[in-house]
Amino acid sequence: MKKIKMITPLVEMDGDEMTRVLWRDIKKILIEPYVELKSEYYDLGLTHRDETCDEVTIKAAEATKRLGVAVKCATITPNAQRVEEYKLKEMWKSPNGTIRRILDGTVFRAPILAKGITPYVPGWTKPIAIARHAYGDIYNSVEDKAEEGQSAYLVICDKDGKEVRRKLVHEFKAGPGIVQAVHNTDKSIEAFARSCFIFALSEKLSVWFGAKDTISKTYDHRFKDIFADIYEREFRADFESAGLYYMYTLIDDVVARVMRSEGGILWVCKNYDGDVMSDMVATAYGSLGMMSSVLVSPDDKYEYEAAHGTVTRHYYKHLKGEETSTNSVATIFAWTGALNKRGELDGIPELCSFAKKLERATVETIESGFMTGDLAPLFKREGVAVNKLNSKEFLNKIAEKL
């Protein structure tokens, strides 16, 4: 068979643990037999990040700015236990946080639906896409500990470093404690608002945004005002003629409304809310393994990945030589998303159509009753028996269908 040729390389970011194992197999079984894969490879596995003092993560993000499209494997965000486990020089920052900061984008997550997998929330008959602001808040925070008797202040300086305002955060009179400073920028929030409205129009979704402006009267309120302003000035007319709307309400109210809704909306979340809620939404649609994710920057750079992590528990089984049944669907969709986008940008229709066929083969494999262990207990389709496959068998089954 003649392989499909590429023009511009993809930025390929390898990762950790079970997803690193799947990564290699997906390429070998589902992509390389059909595509003459061109990629600029960056190893974001934790060992290599440590060896390069995390330089590799920055290089990979910069390559994405240069080449335009990246595909990323899940990576470990080290905590104290990982520092010990991998004997790290430092507790390196979240690679996703670093990449998001450099690309200043919005993360859109959407569940991959397959017939036979009914959501845990039965009312959710349409997909709920989540837009996660990918810049600032606690992901670029400054934190510290304070001893008893110390005080923490929020200080604003002018461009020469001269203090213009100082507010007391807390006097730690009664014992030690902790402090945290977070920030965001108007520019990033504006870009976030625009990319959400553009994405929603292209996917024909109404937009719900929730924050906590009643408590956070300056910080969260700024988000609310910027969204309202941009919607009124730039998007209201287009939304109304498409029969769509934009709604802002408190985050707790949005949570309640989402539970009662039938889906078919773009739920806009601040950075932390999007991190947490996308896991809830993904699980509710069936499995974390069925949630795709793309980071879109305001200057049209794309980074595709699965929404889940490195599936550590399965990896430890794999290391012991035991069989795993890890769902590779979201990681496959990261590849197809990136290949399709590369095909669009470089004018290679065969590449786009290959990506769509691989997606269809993946979903149809599940719909015909062949799936990994996370989906097997959820699958119900008349006249179709459930076959639970191991990680590799599932990929081979998709290859057969493809």
Q: Can residue 327 be called a binding residue for ligand NAP (CB under 6 A)?
A: yes
Task: Name the segment binding ligand NAP (CB under 6 A); options: 105-113, 215-223, 259-267, 302-310.
Answer: 302-310
With CB under 5 to 8 Å by kind, the binding choice for 77 among Mg ion, ligand NAP, none is: ligand NAP
Site for ligand NAP in 96-155 (CB under 6 A): 96
Binding mask 244-283 for ligand NAP (x = CB under 6 A): ----------------------------------------
Rounded-to-integer distance, Cα 349 and Cα 340, Å: 9
- Which listed option, Mg ion, ligand NAP, none, makes contact with residue 288 (CB within 5 to 8 Å by class)? ligand NAP
Closest distance to ligand NAP from the beta carbon of 348 (Å): 28
Per-residue interface string for the shown chain with Mg ion, residues 278-317, x marking contact by CB under 5 A: -x--------------------------------------
Closest CA to 238 of 269, 192, 270, 207: 207
Which range, of 116-124, 137-145, 212-220, 309-317, touches ligand NAP by CB under 6 A? 309-317
Asked if 310 interacts with ligand NAP (CB under 6 A), we say yes
Total chain residues near ligand NAP (CB under 6 A): 17
With CB under 6 A as the contact rule, the residue among 374, 389, 397, 398 that binds ligand NAP is 374
Q: Which of 275, 305, 359, 374 binds Mg ion (CB under 5 A)?
A: 275
Which segment (74-82, 151-159, 177-185, 222-230) binds ligand NAP by CB under 6 A?
74-82
Segment lying near Mg ion (by CB under 5 A), choices 169-177, 203-211, 231-239, 272-280:
272-280
- Closest CB to ligand NAP among residues 75, 336: 75
Toward ligand NAP, which CB reaches closer, 101 or 308?
308
As beta bridge partners, residue 168 has 153
d(CA 313, CA 41): 26
- Residue 71 as a binder of ligand NAP (CB under 6 A): the answer is no
> CA gyration radius for the chain?
22
Q: Is 220 in the site for Mg ion (CB under 5 A)?
A: no
If contact means CB under 5 to 8 A according to the sort of partner, which of Mg ion, ligand NAP, none does residue 74 touch? ligand NAP
| Nearest in space to 70 (alpha carbons), one of 46, 114, 29, 100 | 100
User: Minimum CB separation from Mg ion for residue 279, in Å?
Assistant: 5
Q: Which is nearer to ligand NAP, 58 or 247 (CB)?
A: 58
Separation between Cα atoms, residue 332 and residue 114, nearest integer Å: 15
Six token digits for residue 327 = 């769902």
- Of 115, 187, 313, 380, the one binding ligand NAP by CB under 6 A: 313
What is the rounded distance in angstroms from the CA atom of residue 61 to the CA atom of residue 95?
A: 9
- The answer to whether residues 343 and 69 touch, using CB atoms and an 8 Å cutoff, is no
Q: Judged by CB under 6 A, does residue 311 bind ligand NAP?
A: yes
Q: Which CB, 235 or 333, lies closer to ligand NAP? A: 333
Nearest residue to the partner ligand NAP, using Cβ: 309
CA 153 to chain CA centroid, Å, is 34
Closest-CB residue for Mg ion?
275
CB of 310 to ligand NAP, least distance (A): 4
List interacting residues with ligand NAP (CB under 6 A): 74-77, 96, 288-289, 305, 308-313, 326-327, 374
